[in-house]
């Protein structure tokens, strides 16, 4: 071919896939028809593995995603895509498909985590550190894996955070009209070893799956203080739940901080998470909880979920509620190197307890209340309005990435124990003494018929205007509303984000889960504020029993669903 000038070369790059298609080269254009169910939930598109295994299912979604991000039939020339997942069943197959589709789309580079592994916070770190235009996380988070489990796909934008609703909604809309997708007709890339490969014109780089994440974590914490803590005999157990958090936890805790080998248990990522539900809460991490309640309990217990963005913290014989964890970290953040000049503000999802609100007030920094889902924190973090954020669902993080970060939260606690000399329990009791205790629990009613669940929410919504002043289970309702959020940064609004029922010093919230893959889950969030120290030791569920009863009555849960008790309590 004759020599091309710069303009022509740029044009060729932009239109590479079209040219290849025209010339009948290695890009295939495959006819397809839409799937009606590709509407993403709270965190990406999640379905049973068998749904994703249908011919064209994943491909349709990825094509729709690329069409939205780059424009229909436009190339991603010059752009970098980060690609990885939590190692669950089908991860390896999906990775190969997406590499070929990214090549067909003309991406300059695709960075793939070795073995196809990149935890959600690691993906965020890689996107940010390497100036990628976005990334794809293949994960169904804490949902079970294996051939009969769940699979999921989520897109993160250039700031490293989950794509906002305007993008996810547009992807769904596009998925409903596509008629073909394109992919390179090329062999699989060997993703188990680090190296550089080429697929059509795309450089595919298999990268270490923990390095970038480690680098951002190093900037947040005092590794010397933590090393000395372990050297003084501090002991912990980290349950990685046979998920993708294991390799990073081992690299930091055992290799760098000197924790004894075996500190990280279930450290090998498995495609079916060893048959467990990789969700770090007292229900699914029972073994860890039992160990932490036993005589041989170490000083700290921790766990992370399938994609390692969630975390659970326990002290010796003591369970830390995620809402309290956020509040404790906020209260002491100035002792951590990455936050030594103080925090700008905090944010919590609406159902998360108000413990952090009181800390923020004492620190004189703003506290934002956002809808459920990490994506709502992105704008506040980008705009520098907040430094820390968290959710009751075992998610905590800061502005070091744009995702929740399990290991980050766990390192916060180790670092705080190291520099305050206080135990996990003492740190929480300090919080309660200073700010009062928020007794807090979530009651989930799982596997409810979707129609019934929607009817329950609808009925609550219709009765909202009449609830104030009514008495249920002996308590008078002060106000009730359906939470709506207006993003202070971009002005976007999100409505119908959960029903809030307020009493004096107490709150009950009702919403339906947006991450389930079958039926509906009604989530009921109970919170009772208790300023009186002498009552802080009341058993949690006992303290909340009156509110649980009130929730049953207000939402007519038993009448409508036939359920008189939740299926899961966390």
Write the burial class of residue 59 (CB in 10 Å: 0-12 exposed, 13-18 middle, 19+ buried).
buried
Please, which of residues 118-177 interact with Zn ion by CB under 5 A? 141
From the CB of 373, what's the least distance to ligand G1P, in Å?
Answer: 5
314, 319, 321, 324: CA torsion to nearest 10: -70
**156 binding partner (options Zn ion, ligand G1P, none; Cβ < 5 to 8 Å by kind):** none
* Nearer Cβ to ligand G1P (41/274): 41
* Nearer Cβ to Zn ion (62/241): 241
Q: By three-state DSSP, how is residue 550 classified?
A: helix
**393 binding partner (options ligand G1P, Zn ion, none; Cβ < 5 to 8 Å by kind):** ligand G1P
Residues 29-58, one symbol each (x = binds Zn ion by CB under 5 A, - = not), give ------------------------------
Q: Cβ neighbours of residue 47 under 8 Å, at least 6 residues apart?
A: 37, 150, 151, 152, 517
**307 binding partner (options Zn ion, ligand G1P, none; Cβ < 5 to 8 Å by kind):** Zn ion
**513 binding partner (options ligand G1P, Zn ion, none; Cβ < 5 to 8 Å by kind):** ligand G1P
From the CB of 409, what's the least distance to Zn ion, in Å?
Answer: 12
* Nearer Cβ to ligand G1P (284/523): 523
From the CB of 309, what's the least distance to ligand G1P, in Å?
Answer: 7
Q: Annotated catalytic, 141?
A: yes
From the CB of 298, what's the least distance to ligand G1P, in Å?
Answer: 27
Nearest to 55 by CA among 37, 31, 76, 83: 31
483, 124, 364, 427: CA torsion to nearest 10: 100
From the CB of 378, what's the least distance to ligand G1P, in Å?
Answer: 12
Q: Which two tokens stand for residue 369?
A: 């209340």
Q: For Zn ion, how many residues bind (rule: CB under 5 A)?
A: 5
Which helix or strand (DSSP H or E) is residue 347 part of?
Answer: strand 346-349
CA dist 117 and 244 (Å) reads 7
* Nearer Cβ to Zn ion (299/305): 305
* Nearer Cβ to Zn ion (357/405): 405
**59 binding partner (options Zn ion, ligand G1P, none; Cβ < 5 to 8 Å by kind):** none
From the CB of 394, what's the least distance to ligand G1P, in Å?
Answer: 8
**441 binding partner (options Zn ion, ligand G1P, none; Cβ < 5 to 8 Å by kind):** none
- Check binding of 309 to Zn ion (CB under 5 A): yes
From the CB of 267, what's the least distance to ligand G1P, in Å?
Answer: 22
* Nearer Cβ to ligand G1P (137/330): 137
Q: Cβ neighbours of residue 202 under 8 Å, at least 6 residues apart?
A: 99, 102, 103, 106, 107, 108, 109, 110, 184
Asked if 62 and 103 touch (Cβ cutoff 8 Å), the reply is no
CA dist 15 and 482 (Å) reads 48
Asked if 509 and 500 touch (Cβ cutoff 8 Å), the reply is yes
- Check binding of 305 to Zn ion (CB under 5 A): yes
Strand partners, 541: none
From the CB of 161, what's the least distance to ligand G1P, in Å?
Answer: 12
Catalytic residue among 43, 139, 141, 186: 141
**374 binding partner (options Zn ion, ligand G1P, none; Cβ < 5 to 8 Å by kind):** ligand G1P
- Check binding of 67 to Zn ion (CB under 5 A): no
Please pick, from the candidates 307, 357, 487, 527, the single residue that binds Zn ion as defined by CB under 5 A: 307
**86 binding partner (options ligand G1P, Zn ion, none; Cβ < 5 to 8 Å by kind):** none
* Nearer Cβ to ligand G1P (306/345): 306
**378 binding partner (options ligand G1P, Zn ion, none; Cβ < 5 to 8 Å by kind):** none
* Nearer Cβ to ligand G1P (59/239): 239
From the CB of 372, what's the least distance to ligand G1P, in Å?
Answer: 5
End-to-end Cα spacing for the chain:
66
CA dist 278 and 290 (Å) reads 17
**514 binding partner (options Zn ion, ligand G1P, none; Cβ < 5 to 8 Å by kind):** ligand G1P
Query: Cα Rg for the chain, rounded, in angstroms?
Result: 24
Outline where DSSP puts E strands in 121-235: 134-138, 150-157, 180-184, 195-199, 202-207
- Check binding of 405 to Zn ion (CB under 5 A): no
Strand partners, 27: 184
* Nearer Cβ to ligand G1P (399/403): 403
* Nearer Cβ to Zn ion (133/393): 393
Outline where DSSP puts E strands in 208-339: 236-239, 264-265, 300-304, 311-315, 318-319
**Cα dist from 397 to 174, 279, 391, 409, 507, whole Å:** 32, 17, 9, 7, 25
Which one of 212-220, 305-313, 407-415, 416-424 is the stretch in contact with Zn ion (CB under 5 A)? 305-313
Q: By three-state DSSP, how is residue 84 classified?
A: strand
From the CB of 119, what's the least distance to ligand G1P, in Å?
Answer: 13
The three-point CA angle 483-490-154 to 5° equals: 75
CA dist 327 and 195 (Å) reads 42
Q: Which residues bind ligand G1P (CB under 6 A)?
A: 42-43, 141, 349, 372-374, 391, 393, 395, 513-515, 523
| DSSP per-residue codes, 367-435 | EEEE-SSGGGGHHHHHTTS-SEEEETTTEEEETTSSS--HHHHHHHHHHHHHHH---HHHHHHHHHHHH
Which residues make up the interface to Zn ion (CB under 5 A)?
141, 305, 307, 309-310
Active site residues: 141
């Amino acid at each position: 071919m004759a020599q091309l000038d710069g303009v022509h070369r740029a044009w060729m790059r932009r239109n590479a896939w079209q040219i290849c298609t025209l010339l009948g080269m290695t890009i295939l254009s495959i006819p397809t028809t839409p799937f009606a169910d590709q509407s993403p939930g709270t965190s990406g598109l999640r379905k049973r593995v068998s749904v994703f295994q249908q011919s064209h299912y994943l491909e349709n979604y990825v094509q729709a995603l690329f069409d939205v991000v780059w424009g229909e039939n436009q190339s991603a020339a010059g752009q970098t895509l980060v690609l990885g997942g939590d190692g669950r069943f089908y991860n390896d197959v999906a990775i190969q498909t997406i590499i070929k589709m990214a090549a067909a789309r003309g991406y300059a580079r695709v960075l793939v985590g070795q073995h196809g592994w990149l935890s959600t916070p690691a993906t965020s770190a890689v996107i940010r550190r390497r100036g990628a235009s976005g990334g794809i996380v293949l994960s169904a988070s804490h949902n079970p894996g294996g051939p009969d489990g769940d699979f999921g796909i989520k897109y993160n934008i250039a700031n490293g955070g989950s794509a906002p609703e305007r993008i996810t909604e547009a992807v769904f809309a596009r998925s409903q009209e596509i008629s073909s997708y394109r992919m390179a007709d090329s062999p699989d890339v060997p993703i188990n070893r680090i190296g550089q490969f080429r697929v059509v014109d795309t450089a595919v780089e298999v990268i270490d799956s923990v390095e970038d994440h480690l680098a951002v974590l190093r900037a947040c914490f005092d590794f010397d203080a933590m090393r000395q803590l372990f050297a003084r005999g501090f002991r912990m157990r980290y349950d990685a739940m046979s998920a993708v958090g294991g390799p990073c936890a081992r690299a930091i805790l055992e290799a760098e901080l000197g924790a004894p080998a075996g500190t990280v248990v279930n450290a090998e990522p498995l495609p079916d998470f060893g048959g467990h539900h990789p969700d770090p809460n007292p229900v699914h991490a029972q073994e860890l909880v039992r160990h932490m309640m036993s005589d041989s309990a170490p000083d700290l217990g921790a766990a992370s979920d399938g994609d390692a963005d969630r975390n659970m913290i326990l002290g010796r014989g003591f369970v830390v509620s995620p809402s309290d964890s956020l509040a404790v970290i906020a209260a002491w953040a100035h002792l951590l190197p990455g936050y030594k000049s103080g925090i700008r503000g905090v944010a919590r999802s609406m159902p998360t307890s108000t413990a952090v609100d009181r800390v923020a007030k004492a620190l004189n920094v703003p506290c934002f209340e956002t809808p459920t889902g990490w994506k709502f924190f992105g704008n506040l973090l980008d705009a520098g309005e907040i430094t820390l954020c968290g959710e009751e669902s075992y998610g905590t993080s800061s502005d070091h990435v744009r995702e929740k970060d399990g290991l980050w939260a766990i390192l916060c606690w180790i670092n705080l124990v190291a520099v305050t000399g206080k135990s996990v329990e003492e740190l929480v009791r300090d919080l309660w003494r200073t700010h009062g205790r928020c007794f807090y629990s979530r009651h989930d009613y799982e596997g409810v018929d979707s129609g019934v669940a929607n009817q329950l929410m609808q009925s609550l919504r219709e009765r909202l205007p009449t609830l104030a002043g009514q008495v249920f289970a002996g308590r008078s309702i002060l106000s009730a509303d359906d939470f709506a959020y207006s993003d202070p940064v971009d002005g976007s609004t999100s409505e119908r984000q959960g029903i809030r029922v307020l009493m004096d010093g107490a709150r009950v919230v009702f919403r339906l889960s947006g991450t389930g893959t079958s039926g509906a889950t009604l989530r009921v969030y109970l919170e009772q504020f208790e300023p009186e120290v002498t009552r802080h030791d009341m058993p949690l569920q006992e303290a909340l029993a009156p509110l649980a009863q009130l929730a049953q009555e207000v939402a007519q849960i038993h009448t409508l669903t036939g359920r008189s008790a939740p299926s899961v309590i966390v």
